[in-house]
Amino acid sequence: MGHFRDSVDVRALRFAVGFPVVLAAAFLVCAFLVHSDLPEPLAVRWTDAGAADFAPFGAVAGIGAALIVLIGWAVLLQAAPLSRPAVMRRLMMGAGLSLSLFVTTVLAAVLVGQLGLANARESRVDVSVLALGSGAALGLGVVMGFVFKADERWSVDDDQAMREALARELDPDLARDSVRVWVHARSSVFVMIGIATLLPAALLAIAVPWLAALLVAAAVLGAALLVARIRVDRSGFRVFAAGFVRVMDVPAAAIEAATPKEVKAADYGGWGYRSHGAATALLVSSGPAVVVDSSDGRQLTVSGGSIASADNIAQVLSQVAARARRNGEAAGL
């Protein structure tokens, strides 16, 4: 129970559950107050010729109240979990309020349009009630979205951030032993990829849609291969193609040497990920790179961005490798 309370905004949850129920109850009370002035059965669908489908008053009132509750819950409850971004929670709270009020407005317009009639075939939906109620529902939803305070609560991510901050305080060298870098090709390369694939895809979209989709997929894949994320810390050296596909992983203790170097992509088989025997490379362009030699005989080469960035990555890799070897020797003693 405690975990559940820590994962939801209790006040927002109470409102999300209670408001649709109260609104549905208010609709039922008002519907029964005007029941004597309504025809039986009630019209529930209209065509150009007039009322087409009918239902008993009890069914209209009961199903209408159920719709108010279910639609309200479906949207308003999305604003309760604390794991969701604050902006999304605000949007869901405002949208849920608007939808609940709009459904109530439609039901009210249906009933008001049939007041005082002996036969529901002569009825129409009351446009004035529908227009005024819809405007009010939209306006109140916007107001709710702005005034709802989506409080930020302590979460698992905050616990992790606190642990990392404490670790940095206790070990000042920890920050110097960590590097996170994104590298990518020049913007002109992405522009060329777009011109070579997206423009032909737009022309082919009408005639051959599947081929257009294939070209777009090729463009996305080609652009992704020219982006990489490099992560260095005391655990080792990792490189992720497109930012999330791990293609290189070397433990710190297995790093023999790390050297900044000017490379030509053509010497490694071109841009992107390449693997030939013991040599592995991920180059997004020619230029500054880092060459890492591991104890198992592998040689890994990755683009380093700028000269300064490549030098920094190589320096930090040398530091963490030396630290890992010292710790290993101390443990052996």
Q: Residue 197's pLDDT is what?
A: 82
Say yes or no to pLDDT of 80 above 80: yes
pLDDT tens digits for 250-263?
998 899 999 999 99
- 258 in Cβ contact with 290 (< 8 Å): yes
Report the percentage of the chain scoring pLDDT > 70.
91
DSSP codes of every residue in 40-77: SSEEEEEETTEEEEEE-HHHHHHHHHHHHHHHHHHHHG
Please tell me the pTM assigned to this model: 0.52
Give the tens place of pLDDT for each residue, 192-214. 888 888 778 777 777 778 888 88
Give the integer Cα–Cα distance in Å for 265 and 281: 9
Report residue 283's pLDDT band, with 50, 70 and 90 as the boundaries: very high
DSSP letters for 267-326: GGTSSEEEEETTEEEEESSSEEEEEEEETTS-EEEEE-SSHHHHHHHHHHHHHHHHHHHH
Region of poorest pLDDT, from 13-27, 42-56, 157-171: 157-171
Instruction: Name the average pLDDT for the chain.
Output: 84
Which tens digits make up the pLDDT trace of 232-242? 988 889 999 98
**pLDDT, tens digit, for every residue of 101-150?**
999 999 998 888 888 888 878 778 888 888 888 888 888 888 888 888 77
Cβ partners under 8 Å of residue 264, min gap 6: 286
| Mean pLDDT confidence for 73-83 | 86
Domain locations in the chain as residue ranges: 2-147, 177-185+226-332
pLDDT band (50, 70, 90) for residue 66: very high
Task: Quickly state the pLDDT bin for 187 (edges 50, 70, 90).
Answer: confident
Inform me whether the pLDDT recorded for 170 exceeds 80: no
Q: Provide the pLDDT for residue 118.
A: 80
Phi, psi of 249 (to 5 degrees): -155, 110
Q: How far apart are alpha carbons 256 and 159 in whole angstroms? A: 35
Indicate whether 22 pLDDT > 60. yes
The model's pLDDT over 36-58, given as tens digits with 9 standing for 90+, comes to 888 888 888 888 777 778 888 88
Q: Which of 65-79, 145-159, 168-182, 266-280 has the lowest mean pLDDT?
A: 145-159
**pLDDT for position 97:** 92
Q: What does the pLDDT read at residue 333? A: 45
What fold does the segment set 177-185+226-332 form as a domain? PH-domain like (2.30.29)
Indicate if the pLDDT at residue 330 is higher than 50: no
Backbone phi and psi for residue 188, each to the nearest 5 degrees, phi listed first: -65, -30
